[in-house]
Amino acid sequence: MGNKLVVGCGALGSLMAATWMERKNTVTGTVTCTENIERIKNYTNHQIVVKSDASGLKDCVDNMDTILICVAPSQNTQADILTLSETYVDLNLDLFQLIKKSKNKNTHIIYISTTSVYSRDQGLTTEEGIKSDSLKANVHLNAENIILNSSPNVTVLRLGGLYGMYKSIMPYIRSISGKQMSSSGREIVPLVHLGDVVGAIAFAEKIKLYGTYNVSSNVYEYKDIVSIMCRKNNLPDAKWNSMDNNYSSFIASSEKLVEAGYQFKYNSEKDFC
User: The whole model's pTM is what?
Assistant: 0.90
Q: Is residue 161 within 8 Å of residue 217, measured between CB atoms?
A: no
- Sketch out the chain's domains with CATH numbers: 3-165+191-216+248-271 (3.40.50.720)
CA atoms of 1 and 230, how far apart (whole Å): 44
In the predicted model, what is the mean pLDDT of the chain? 86
- Contacting residues for 94 by C-beta, under 8 A, at least 6 apart: 52, 53, 54, 55
CA atoms of 68 and 108, how far apart (whole Å): 8
160-211: per-residue pLDDT in tens?
989 888 788 899 999 999 999 998 888 888 889 999 999 999 999 999 999 9
CA atoms of 114 and 69, how far apart (whole Å): 13
| pLDDT bucket at 106, cuts 50 / 70 / 90 | very high
- Contacting residues for 71 by C-beta, under 8 A, at least 6 apart: 7, 8, 10, 87, 88, 91, 112
Alpha helices in the chain (DSSP H): 11-22, 37-40, 81-85, 91-101, 135-148, 170-176, 194-207, 222-232, 255-260
